[in-house]
Amino acid sequence: MNSIHYSTRISHNSLISKSKIGKGNYIACNTVIINTSIGNYCSIAPGVQIGGMQHSYWWLSTSPRLSKHCISNKVTKIGNDVWIAAGCIIKQGVTIGDGAVIGAMSFVNKDVPENSIYFGSPAKFHKKRLDDSLFATIKKSNYWNLNPAEAKKALTKIEDENTLPPSIL
């Protein structure tokens, strides 16, 4: 059974099973999400796989029809305002913290702390996404629990009160 907030957009050819998905998210095409909890305002690019089963490669058979040793009960947790780029695989039971970014084609098999950028196979820490004090201000605002208009106001206020890194554009 799924619980998906009505404001989350899900693109075609996506499979979602046994998951809870918050508000304001978008989930691109060809995505598989199994036994996962996703916060609010997350961006999930095409071809991402989150959660799923670990087959019993250590036992006599890897088939879930034959083996009672396959593992499929670990919940994967994705925080708020997380961006998971195209082609990523996030193993079951992993937690990705608020504000994290996972680079394209990454394989995530360990927890990812909030406000961090990880990429690679296996995914490794690259850098903090934002300065710790700025991220603390963002987190304290709790904007991800607001509706989009209120969230934009909260973020604009934070932007006006802080010196932000220069835009890439």
Of the chain, the end-to-end C-alpha distance in Å amounts to 42
CA distances from 88 to 12, 106, 122, 146 (A): 18, 5, 10, 28
As a whole number of Å, the CA-based R_g of the chain is 17
| 126 in active site | no
3-class SS string, 112-153: ECCCEEEEECCEEEEEECCCHHHHHHHHHHCHHHCCHHHHHH
Torsion of CA 135, 88, 50, 101, to 10 degrees: 0
Burial of 156 (0-12, 13-18, 19+ CB in 10 A): exposed
Catalytic-role residue among 5, 55, 69, 126: 55
* Residues ≥6 apart with Cβ < 8 Å to 94: 76, 77, 108, 109, 110, 111, 112
Catalytic residues: 55
